[in-house]
Chains A and B, each alone.
Chain A
Amino acid sequence: MTRKQKKTLRRILFAFALLVIAALLPTIWLPGPIPLLSEARDQNGCGAYALARWPLFLIPYLVIGWDVLWKAVRNIKNGQVFDENFLMSVATIGALVIGEYAEGVAVMLFYQVGELFQSVAVHRSRQSISDLMDIRPDYANVERDGQLVQVDPEEVQVDDIIVIKAGERVPLDGTVLEGASALDTAALTGESLPRDVEAGDEVISGCVNLTGLLHVKVSKPFGQSTVARILDLVENSSEKKAQAEHFITKFARYYTPVVVFAALALAVIPSLVTGQWGIWVPRALNFLVVSCPCALVISIPLSFFGGLGGASKQGILVKGSNYLEALAKAGIVVFDKTGTLTQGAFSVTAVHPEEGMEEGRLLELTALAEQFSTHPISKSIVAAWGGQPDQSRAVDVEEIAGHGVRATVDGHTVLAGNPKLMDRENIQITTSHDHSGTTIHVAVDGKYAGHLVIADRPKEGSAQALRELKEAGVRQTVMLTGDARGAAQAVAEELKLDGFYAQLLPGDKVEKVEALLQGKNPKENLVFVGDGINDAPVLSRADIGVAMGALGSDAAIEAADIVLMDDDLRKLPVAVRIARKTLAIVRQNVVFALGVKFLVLALSVPGYANMWMAVFADVGVSVIAILNASRMLRAK
């Protein structure tokens, strides 16, 4: 609790004590009449004067309500008529005037209790969210004149060397010069497994150094470092408001005046007809208490804020409440293949030797022939072979662009490449396999020897992520790729995607997304997931662009609406679930708050609701809505 809140609490307790005293105090008899302060009573059969009850209740009322009254007066002066202070003032003064003294004071007291509770609850959630985002480094250790000094990370320049001790936060992005350690990236990625780093590795600001001492050469100034960019993004995320927020503030603008005028009508019209002012005015006062819109207005941004905070705890950065809202309606998810669904690294998935050739021998010959090439496919063959590359065993190596490679390995002429190479060398391909992935044909001494299949493997979590997306209510999953049809089909089938488009040029991807956007249901949204490299146009064209593996990639953070900090696609269904849960809580709060308010309004007209219920409909409901919204902080 802050000091202000503690002060309010003391005031509430004091006023409550005064109220109890006022209610329990025996009648005070007066020797004679005093104007306004006395009332005629019957004492043992004789007429006598007693102290009126209202001054006794006025004391606790002023103790607890003076600030509300003061604010009401001040706001009217400023032209803000329908604010809650004014409404509470009118309602409670009204109660006092018609003789409901205890009720009038108690309502004001209850209102203040509710306000205090609300302020504490909001403060708490705000605090826990900012704790989640507490990745800002306080200082950097820089060596100056042989001494290690702590400086503000903003003062450190590129190429400076900083020292990070165990337990400290990495203050700036850079490259490790000396030392080895494990880094805790949980605050950035939500990934609990530490990441090992050693000399030559890049480190990212915001991680915590767990074990060793690191000397790091700074690569970016603080303003451009990962941590500064993330903080910037998170802090600005509340700026982009969701439609639900706009709706509710707009609703509040009309709701309050309408209810106030309804109260006025309820007080005046039936009273004029029936003449029973004493019945209708208290009922109308209930209306005034219920007309405060705060429960509605507060609970919605709080739910979204909680959703954004809960997501960032999982390493999912959402750039605004509006994107969270849009993600909850995700119907179609479009994936880029390489680097998103697949590892983006090639590996040999099959070795098919012809008659008279062995699997290991085929792989060895091909690997030795390919050992000089830097092409990822060649590297994957060498990796699959697993042997030590030996440059002396391969001579006369000739790379034939667009075809493959020719070399003499251990005295044998080896040709390895695509069907065009085989054609060129007049070698008959004696296999009819149609493989998913890239096929490398191999000929030894002018005779077809077999082929290797090389494919990009799906990532470990891809299948699970897609399954979970379906469970979370995504209707359609589509893959876009520049790869050949066969390779794309294999991945699509393995991951059980609903559709795929292969052999696309980068520009075609935008067109495909446009076409999918045209064909979708207007109530659902299209999500595009890419690795943020080369797909900025698609990211921005989709309803929601999601970039993954963005740690350290500025372009991706820039272009996407939602950023998955690590490479794990399984974070996407988590994000969808968080979005859906946020929206569910928003809906619950709106329905609950409006429901209770309208119920109390309806019950007030025939006189079934008293002012206690009306105060509950105001502050009680907002406290419950806040507690409901704070569930988002623990969302998974």
Chain B
Amino acid sequence: MKKTFKMIDLDCANCAAKMENAIKGLDGVNDASVSFMTQKMTVDADDARFDAIMKEVVKVCRKVEPDCEIVL
């Protein structure tokens, strides 16, 4: 399943790249993309565990930029 989320206060382009890498490394994530310009994140992950995976995604993003909020 592929879903797009809006991000609020994604302030730095390098952080976006770091988040993207971190999300791609998560178990069950097939592909991910974080766009600094559109302030959006697309996650392609296993259907069955999608919600659990999204929790992980939020966690790793918070590590990179704690001020950035993901609108789920």
Contact = CB atoms under 8 A, between A and B. Distances in A.
Interface in B1-31: 4, 11-15, 17-18, 20-21
A80 B36 CA distance: 19
A235 interface: yes
A238 interface: yes
Contacts of A119: 11
Q: Which of B12, B15, B33, B42 has the most CB of A within 10 A?
A: B12
Chain A contact residues: helix, strand, loop or mixed = helix
Interface in A69-119: 71, 74, 78-80, 83-84, 119
A238 B35 contact: yes
A74 B17 contact: no
A126 B37 contact: yes
Nearest to B15: A83
A264 interface: no
Nearest to A78: B63
Interface string B29-72: 00001011111101000000000000000000011101000000
Contacts, number: 60
Contacts of A74: 66
Contacts of B42: 236, 239
Q: Say whether chain B's binding surface is mostly helix, strand, loop, or mixed.
A: mixed
A80 B66 CA distance: 11
Contacts of A241: 33
A500 interface: no
A188 B17 CA distance: 32
Contact of A249 (B17, B38, B66): B17
A80 B24 CA distance: 17
Given A235-B38, A301-B37, A80 B12 contact: no
Given A80-B18, A301-B35, A235 B40 contact: yes
Contacts of B36: 298, 301
Contacts of A71: 66
Contacts of A334: none
A239 B12 contact: no
A305 B17 CA distance: 16
B14 A84 contact: yes
Contacts of B13: 294, 297-298, 301-302
A65 interface: no
Which has the most chain B C-beta neighbours within 10 Å: A79, A238, A294? A238
A294 B66 contact: no
Interface in A199-235: 235
A293 B12 CA distance: 11
5 contacts: A78-B64, A122-B37, A239-B33, A294-B12, A298-B36
The 9 closest A-B pairs by CB, nearest first: A249-B17, A298-B13, A305-B37, A238-B35, A78-B63, A297-B13, A297-B14, A239-B33, A238-B38
Interface of B: 4, 11-15, 17-18, 20-21, 33, 35-40, 42, 62-64, 66
Given A83-B14, A122-B37, A297-B13, 9 more contacts: A78-B66, A84-B12, A126-B38, A126-B39, A238-B37, A239-B35, A241-B33, A293-B14, A305-B38
